[in-house]
Every structure is written in structure tokens, then in C-alpha cells.
Amino acid sequence: MANLTLSIESELLQNAREVALRERTTVNAVVRDFLARYVDAKTRRLKALDTLDALAERSASQSSGQPWSRESLHER
């Protein structure tokens, strides 16, 4: 496990320690949990964007090549 040095205001650190103590955890565990959730959210977002890009590319390759118009979209 690696060590990380952070610079934060003293008051924020004190408040974080008090909240962590009430939750029976540590500031270290809170930061570790936050970073894990942050990375997971960013990873899921990037994967979703990649999926959308692939879908858009596949959809574009199947189109007629003509731009859509309001009339053509509502033809029956």
C-alpha cells in the first residue's frame, strides 16, 4: 500500500476527524473509500461513453446518408 500526503486546512481536517470518529472510522478510510468510488464512477462513465460512441458509429454506418428532415421523420 502506498502513502499519500495531502495539504488541507486544519479546520477541515479537524472536522473530518470528528465526523469519522462519530462514524467509528478514520479519515484515512474515508479518503480511501472516496477515491475508490471516484475511480469507479469515472471508469463507468468512460465505459458508457465508449459504448455510446460505438453505437453511434454503427448507427451512422447503417444510415441512408441523407440528412433527416422533420417531414421524413413523421412519414407513415
Q: What is the pLDDT of residues 14-69, one digit of tens each?
A: 999 999 999 999 999 999 999 999 999 999 999 999 999 888 888 765 566 677 77
What is the maximum span of the chain, computed from C-alpha positions, in angstroms? 67
At residue 64, the pLDDT reads 64
At residue 55, the pLDDT reads 87
- Residues 20 and 29: beta-carbon distance below 8 Å: yes
Rounded Cα distance between 76 and 73, Å, is 9
Is 90 exceeded by the pLDDT of residue 71?
Answer: no
Indicate yes or no: pTM above 0.85. Answer: no
At residue 69, the pLDDT reads 79
